[in-house]
């Protein structure tokens, strides 16, 4: 069986309020536009997730909220503080433990962890700008069986500016 993993960095956030904690920064105008554009691209490519593992930061949650209405199917969203500014190892642990029985899982989180993980899994050095998406196929039956790189193929990469 093949599972699909979508790694996405949150859309562009607003730095206009210096007193706002990093965790609480919302999306800016460009981010509010790029999130649905990326959702449309994912839908057109046939990459709509069954489940989203989302950082608890405001900007990641707002990214998910702007994407969900663009899909014709209900997508379960699991919000986790563990994904806020998470290391690649922590992201991998979340994927293996929180993906349940989903066939296509999206992780919506932050750099530098996401860029490092995408580069590691693809075995290429990717720049991973805001709202970028990398799609991987995994030759596994169950998420707990996944051994990164052994069973992992990068099948797509997209960023908003390329649309």
- Can you tell me the distance from the alpha carbon of 59 to that of 22, in angstroms, rounded to the nearest whole number? 9
Q: Are 3 and 143 in contact (CB under 8 A)?
A: yes
Whole-number Å distance between alpha carbons of 68 and 72 = 9
Instruction: Indicate the DSSP class of residue 7.
Output: E
Q: What string of DSSP letters covers 36-92?
A: HHHHHHHHHHT---SEEEEESSHHHHHHHHHHGGGSSS--EEEEEGGGTT--HHHHH
Q: Check the annotation: does 25 bind a ligand.
A: no
Q: Nearest 5 degrees, angle CA 151-CA 5-CA 72?
A: 145
| Helix (H) or strand (E) run with residue 137 in it | strand 133-138
Binding residues for substrate: 59
Binding residues: 59
């Amino acid at each position: 069986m093949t599972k699909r993993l979508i790694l996405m960095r949150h859309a562009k956030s607003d730095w206009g309020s210096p007193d706002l904690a990093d965790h609480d920064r919302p999306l800016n105008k460009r981010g509010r536009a790029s999130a649905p554009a990326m959702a449309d691209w994912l839908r057109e490519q046939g990459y709509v997730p069954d489940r989203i593992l989302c950082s608890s930061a405001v900007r990641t949650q707002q990214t998910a909220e702007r994407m969900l209405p663009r899909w014709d199917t209900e997508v379960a969203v699991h919000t986790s503080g563990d994904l806020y500014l998470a290391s690649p190892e922590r992201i991998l642990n979340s994927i293996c433990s929180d993906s349940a029985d989903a066939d296509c899982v999206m992780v919506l989180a932050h750099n530098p962890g996401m860029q490092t993980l995408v580069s590691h899994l693809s075995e290429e050095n990717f720049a991973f700008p805001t709202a970028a998406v990398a799609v991987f196929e995994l030759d596994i039956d169950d998420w707990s069986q996944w051994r990164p790189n052994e069973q992992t193929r990068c099948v797509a990469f997209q960023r908003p500016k390329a649309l």
